[in-house]
Structure formats: C-alpha cells, structure tokens
Amino acid sequence: MQILKVEDLRKSFDGEVILDGLSLEINKGEVIA
C-alpha cells in the first residue's frame, strides 16, 4: 500500500465513518514502518 497522508484520505473518503479507524491504523503503521 502506498503511504497516504490523513488529509489525502479525508479528501478521498470525504468524511467516511471508517476513516477514523483507518486513520488510527495508518498512523500506527507509519510509526512501525
């Protein structure tokens, strides 16, 4: 998966309910990576 910023995800999903869960997982993933 390509590294995407939270802002980019917000623009793509545009207020998706799952966005909150994905944001947390992505933030953890970035720290691990």
What does the domain layout of the chain look like in residue ranges? 1-33
Give the pLDDT mean for 5-29: 63
d(CA 33, CA 14): 26
Statement: residue 21 has pLDDT above 60: yes
Give the pLDDT mean for 8-28: 62
| Overall pTM > 0.75 | no
Helices (H) and strands (E) in the chain — how many of each? Answer: 2, 0
Tens of pLDDT along 1-14? 566 676 766 666 55
Q: Which DSSP category does 1 fall into? A: -
CA distances from 7 to 3, 12, 13 (A): 12, 9, 10
